[in-house]
A and B are shown apart, each in its own frame.
Chain A
Amino acid sequence: MALEYRALAFILLAVCIMFADNRFDYLDKVRYGLGFATTPVYWVADIPTRVSFWIDDVFVSRTDLLEENAQLREELLLAQRELQLMESLARENSRLLQLQEASAVINGEVLPAEIINVSPDPFSKRVLVNKGAREGVFVGQPLLDANGLMGQVDEVLPFTSWVLLITDSHHVTPVEVNRNGERALARGSRTTAAELELEFVTQTQDMKAGDLLVSSGMGQVYPKNYPVAEIISVFADPGQSFSTVRARPLAQLDSTRHVMLVFEDKDSEAQSAVEEAISLSAEDMPPATAPQAEAADSNSVPQVEDQ
């Protein structure tokens, strides 16, 4: 008899914990504490990858290294040349924006990180990165790879953090078409395909396959103008009110290991003044659109207090 009661008691406890964890944030401390206990598992699970990287590093011939070095030099030169051009353009752009009293483009600092695990549930697109609260990672922090936007931090553990990818069906990215500035909301595909679906695109909006989508900066989670995806198909059914637009993310969501966490650098005075003005005017108005990236509202201002 005692066994039944014990089982029942633990089931009730589990239900309470689930309810508390789902609805309130009492249990964040518990999760954080348990995160310490589970860190060794991730560390051990990652050993094979590290060993293979180490072997690649050690057993590489001198000629290969020289070749690679020459190639990297060449690439660096090209990149620096482009950077010079970009810098003058950026300066010109910010001058023009200042003329219009708009907020400047955000120049953030980045923290390099590595993806060390992926979510075992095929329907939830989340990855685990090897930077956590110790390095000042915060919930809502954007994650990029070399090609584009990957997602935002969803849960911070002591040494690691979970990142919700932009292709998760619970995630919505505010984007705009780079060519003409048409805005849209890109939701992760509801299938297992790593794609985005643009929501509420009217049939008169100017979008076509091949268009580049960049982050629009709305919702205040992602910085503006990072490349997000490329439209692969636009289908306008005359019987439907919205067209079906599918896009493929530019970031290498399932093959890359090296990623960057962005710390927004918001110390420029002009910018904070503009932001203040925006927040003042925002108080008068109701929020513009209902579906924004989840968990965005409470985290619009990055908090790095934990360290």
Chain B
Amino acid sequence: MQRKTHATWVIALSLFIGFLLAIVPFPDWAMNYRPEWIPMVLIYWAMALPYRIGIGWAFVVGLLLDILEGSILGVNALALVIIAYITLSLHQRLRMFSTVQQAGLVFALVGLNLMVCHWLLIITDQTVPSNLMFLMAALTSALIWPSLFQLLRHSRRSFDVR
């Protein structure tokens, strides 16, 4: 089944804003509580348009995020590919979930993303093992998910992204 693509710029713009929010500096105490915007935006698009936004997108977006964050290439790419894979294989169930259930799954996925990135950075000697406070970002992400979901769904419907 061949579908015509439409309004790719909405997806690109949402990712661009996600990149912006990912690198905007915060005060030191708030660094651990920053929501992980890019994984959340990717989860949404993979869930809504699984035939368009797949593992390839996740990989490229991950590479760009690696450059933006200045970490070695491939760290975020690998983590986002894993997330995209899980989202794609669950997307039909995910659409039936209530908002709270979705937020729970987002919590797990973002937490997985953070863990994978942290491990990879430790393996490649880019950072030092620390306490688990960095996982707080998964909590804030889950709290923000319902509003982000509404916003992205609204823009998807009003711009007719297919």
Contact = CB atoms under 8 A, between A and B. Distances in A.
A203 interface: no
A13 B56 CA distance: 11
B127 A123 contact: yes
B78 A120 contact: no
Interface residues of B, number: 45
Secondary structure class of chain B's binding surface, majority of residues: helix
Interface string B1-45: 000000000000000100110111100100110100000000000
A162 B120 CA distance: 20
B102 interface: no
Secondary structure class of chain A's binding surface, majority of residues: helix
Nearest to A190: B128
Contacts of A31: 67, 73
A34 B31 contact: no
A11 B127 CA distance: 21
A45 interface: yes
A3 B56 contact: no
A254 B26 CA distance: 12
Interface stretch (B58-66, B103-111, B138-146, B147-155): B58-66
Interface string A1-35: 00110110011011111100110000100110011
Contact of A41 (B20, B25, B56): B20
Contact of A18 (B54, B70, B75, B82): B75
Given A11-B81, A14-B59, A18-B124, A44 B25 contact: no
A204 B15 CA distance: 58
A187 interface: no
B73 A27 contact: yes
A38 B59 CA distance: 15
Interface residues of A, number: 43
B16 A14 contact: no
A171 interface: no
A34 B74 CA distance: 13
A288 interface: no
A228 interface: no
B69 interface: yes
A192 interface: yes
A76 B22 CA distance: 41
A22 B32 CA distance: 26
B49 interface: no
Contacts of B126: 124
Given A11-B78, A31-B73, A44 B20 contact: yes
B31 A120 contact: yes
Interface of B: 16, 19-20, 22-25, 28, 31-32, 34, 54-56, 58-59, 62-64, 67-75, 77-78, 81-82, 84-85, 88-89, 120-121, 124-128, 130, 134
24 contacts: A3-B85, A6-B56, A7-B55, A7-B84, A10-B56, A10-B59, A14-B59, A18-B78, A18-B124, A30-B73, A31-B67, A34-B64, A37-B67, A41-B20, A41-B68, A44-B20, A120-B31, A121-B69, A121-B71, A121-B121, A122-B134, A123-B128, A124-B70, A155-B70
Given A14-B62, A34-B67, A190-B128, 15 more contacts: A3-B55, A6-B55, A10-B55, A10-B56, A17-B74, A18-B120, A30-B73, A34-B63, A34-B64, A120-B22, A122-B31, A123-B128, A162-B70, A169-B128, A170-B125
Q: Which 4 A-B pairs have the closest CB atoms?
A: A18-B74, A14-B78, A7-B85, A17-B74
